[in-house]
Copies of this chain bind each other. A is one copy, B any other.
Amino acid sequence: DSGALKQVARILNGGLSPSDIAHLLESSPPRQRVLLWKLVDKQLEGEVLQYMSDDIRADFLSEFNAQELANLLEDFESDDLADLLQQLPDTVIQEVLDTMDEQDRQRVEEVLSYPEDTAGGLMNTDTVTVRPDISIDVVLRYLRRHRTLPPMTDSLIVVSRRDEFIGVLPITRMLVSNPAATVREVMDTDIEPIPVSLSDTKVATLFERYDLISAPVVDENNRLLGRITIDDVVDVIREDADHSLMSMAGLDEDEDTFAPVLKTTRRRAVWLGVNVFTAFTSASVIGMFEETIQQVVALAVLMPIVASMGGIAGSQTLTLMIRGMAVGQVSNASVRWLLNREFLATALNGVLFALVVSAATMVWFGDKTIGLVIALALVINLTVASVVGTLLPLTLKRLKIDPALAGGVILLTTTDVVGFLSFLGLATYFYA
């Protein structure tokens, strides 16, 4: 009913900020999402798109033609522009560039030259710069000639005549300074500018560690290229953290919560396919011991206990390592200590739970041999799990494989195989 729709449109465009609209769209199933998007004011579309996650934005972008895209992109900040263009096919990018005027095209081409996950991909070019030799009073008068200052401007950047970075002039410090003092006397020079090729994760660490709001970005000749602001860094922090969580379930951190059935089915199938392979690996290990199982069926009943306890212990070690590596706490110097600690802690728990499980098993089946076998197998599987859980993520990282994505699968396959092999192997030996 069109009356109700008009009302929704009024609320959408009048009462909500572009980021609220983006959040509402992201929180809506596909059909409502398309409907709501149609109600968004044309002038707001660009801003709303800037706040959307990559996966969802790509869907909407595919419906624009080159001319529409070019119009849309005119108001974008350079980092958002880069972000967005990198999602489009090369042919579309070329078309968009062709419809732009010379100045816009140059800006876009420069931005596209930096990889998305570096300081260059995060930065904006909207810096306010001053020279070191002028007085604060002159700076204040210069600023007053602006209609607005760029968002998140907490400091002006002091540069030489050749645009080389010299220091920063925090606005709060300027406000409490003598207006007659020069910029040089007031500015901060112990701030290290960010190299344009630094990874976005490292940029985030710098912002977190030094409580920055914005930071200057320079090229290899110390020439100022732009600045990075905390709002974009917060997105990096959120994405990095989401990445570990989602990857461990074989999901992408950009995954649309409301992706349609077929898209979801296709993406999940990959991970289930990997698991079919690993599950058959474990099954084939069990298959080696069919005779023993036929002889002592209790083994079939108990073997998942050995596998799952190893899986739990190993996952704890793995998760701790992945978190520690993500926040930069794990170095080569500390790996030996960590391996030692994980081994000892898990071995202690291994012995403890070997006793508990073994006692419960002997009571259940009235068989001392099976109690001994499960105790030994548990200690073996848990200690192997601790070693694999510690070293696997480091090895994967060295091989440039994402530990959060591949670590869990490999670890659980290992604890399944080692669990079944040690339990059924020992049983075959003791019952033979």
Q: How large, as a class, is the contact surface on chain A?
A: 35 or more
Instruction: List chain B residues, Cβ under 8 A from A309.
Output: 272, 275-276, 279
A211 to B245, CA, bound (A): 24
Cβ of A301 < 8 Å from any Cβ of B? yes
**A interface SS class:** helix
Q: Are A305 and B283 in contact (CB under 8 A)?
A: yes
Cβ of A17 < 8 Å from any Cβ of B? yes
A322 to B294, CA, bound (A): 42
> Which A residues, 26 to 43, have Cβ-Cβ distances below 8 Å to chain B?
26-29
* Of A85-93, A113-121, A327-335, A394-402, the one touching chain B: A327-335
Q: Are A315 and B231 in contact (CB under 8 A)?
A: no
A304 to B303, CA, bound (A): 10
A286 to B338, CA, bound (A): 37
> Which A residues, 127 to 161, have Cβ-Cβ distances below 8 Å to chain B?
140, 143-144, 146-149, 151-154
Cβ of A268 < 8 Å from any Cβ of B? yes
> Which A residues, 292 to 344, have Cβ-Cβ distances below 8 Å to chain B?
293-294, 297-305, 307-309, 312-313, 315-316, 318-320, 322-324, 328-331, 334, 337-338, 341-342, 344
Q: Are A349 and B269 in contact (CB under 8 A)?
A: yes
Q: Smallest CB–CB gap between A280 and chain B, Å?
A: 7
Name which residue of chain B comes closest to A255, CB basis.
Answer: B320
Cβ of A290 < 8 Å from any Cβ of B? yes
B241, B303, B334, B349: which contacts A241 (Cβ < 8 A)? B241
Q: Are B352 and A152 in contact (CB under 8 A)?
A: no
A244 to B152, CA, bound (A): 30
Instruction: List chain B residues, Cβ under 8 A from A23.
Output: 209, 328-329
Instruction: List chain B residues, Cβ under 8 A from A301.
Output: 283, 286-287, 290
Cβ of A271 < 8 Å from any Cβ of B? yes
Q: Smallest CB–CB gap between A44 and chain B, Å?
A: 15
Instruction: List chain B residues, Cβ under 8 A from A346.
Output: 268
Instruction: List chain B residues, Cβ under 8 A from A244.
Output: 245
Number of copies: 2
Q: Smallest CB–CB gap between A267 and chain B, Å?
A: 9
A20 to B245, CA, bound (A): 26
Q: With A349-B265, A352-B269 as given contacts, are A258 and B27 in contact (CB-CB < 8 Å)?
A: no
A276 to B309, CA, bound (A): 7
Cβ of A264 < 8 Å from any Cβ of B? yes
Instruction: List chain B residues, Cβ under 8 A from A300.
Output: 286, 290, 293, 297, 299-300, 303
Cβ of A68 < 8 Å from any Cβ of B? no
A17 to B323, CA, bound (A): 23
Instruction: List chain B residues, Cβ under 8 A from A151.
Output: 211
Q: Smallest CB–CB gap between A235 and chain B, Å?
A: 8
Sorted from nearest, which 8 A-B pairs have the closest CB atoms?
A: A241-B241, A300-B300, A249-B319, A149-B172, A264-B345, A211-B231, A257-B324, A29-B337
